[in-house]
Amino acid sequence: MNLARESVELLGQMAWIFLFEGTRHGLSDRDWMALRFLARANRFSRTPSALASYVGATRGTASYIVNELEKKGYLERTPSSKDKRSVTLSVTSRGTKFLERDPTNVLVDALAALDDVSKTHFRDALRQMLDRSDTAQQRRHADSCRRCMFLWEGRADTEGGPSSEFNCRLFRAAIAESEIDLLCASFEHRPQ
Ligand code: SF4
């Protein structure tokens, strides 16, 4: 069988771990996707609109998901200090604990059992596939600052923040080293 086709077929079978009917531990597959994203998202993406774009839903559906997760105590929202109409979503300690029951952990464990070279190849291959399919489908996937075309490395004074080694040219903000590997829904990969 064609190697590419065989791999995509395997990915399709794996997708059933991410996508399922009904609920697992009380959450739908989309709720899990949202909670997982918000636990890894940077401060610019912990918003209802970034969440809507990540889960591929309307703002109304994203608000519904946020309400459900908030009711269960897994999320909390705080008004933005800059714009009172915006909110920042944060996963609570209860939500973080609950993520130990994430149905996709079975895949994380299976991957963790591979050697480092295989893990790196697998991750890089998935990234390349996403980059290529984004271009073909004129969409963008979420990823980290490290690979983003808006990341500027060099010391600069940014609006309202201290000078930093890393800065985001899109948000005109300093990026702390601890934020470099967090997920951002506004990510755009650098042209090759
Ligand atoms: S550098 Fe890119 S990934 Fe990082 S915050 Fe800015 S837009 Fe998002």
How do residues 164-189 score in pLDDT, each as one tens digit?
689 999 999 999 999 999 999 999 98
Residue 16, number of CB atoms within 10 A of its CB: 11
Quick check: 103 pLDDT over 80? yes
Domains and CATH numbers, the chain: 1-104 (1.10.10.10)
Amino acid 188: pLDDT: 92
Q: Is 158 in the pocket of ligand 1 (CB under 6 A)?
A: no
Q: How many CA atoms lie within 13 A of 123 on its CB side?
A: 11
Q: Is 183 in the pocket of ligand 1 (CB under 6 A)?
A: no
Amino acid 163: pLDDT: 57
Amino acid 182: pLDDT: 97
Give 191 Cα–ligand 1 centroid separation in angstroms. 15
> Which of 55, 48, 11, 59 minimizes the C-alpha distance to 33?
55
Q: How many CA atoms lie within 13 A of 119 on its CB side?
A: 10
Q: Is 186 in the pocket of ligand 1 (CB under 6 A)?
A: yes
DSSP state, residue 100 = G
Tell me the C-alpha distance between 92 and 12, whole Å. 32
Question: Could you tell me how far CA 133 lies from the centroid of its own chain?
Answer: 17
Q: Number of H helices and number of E strands within the chain?
A: 7, 7
How do residues 35-62 score in pLDDT, each as one tens digit?
999 999 999 999 999 999 999 999 999 9
Mutate to test the pocket of ligand 1, among 145, 172, 181, 189 (most ligand atoms within 8 A of CB): 145
pTM for the predicted model, two decimal places: 0.90
Q: Is 170 in the pocket of ligand 1 (CB under 6 A)?
A: yes
Mutate to test the pocket of ligand 1, among 150, 153, 178, 190 (most ligand atoms within 8 A of CB): 150
Amino acid 160: pLDDT: 53
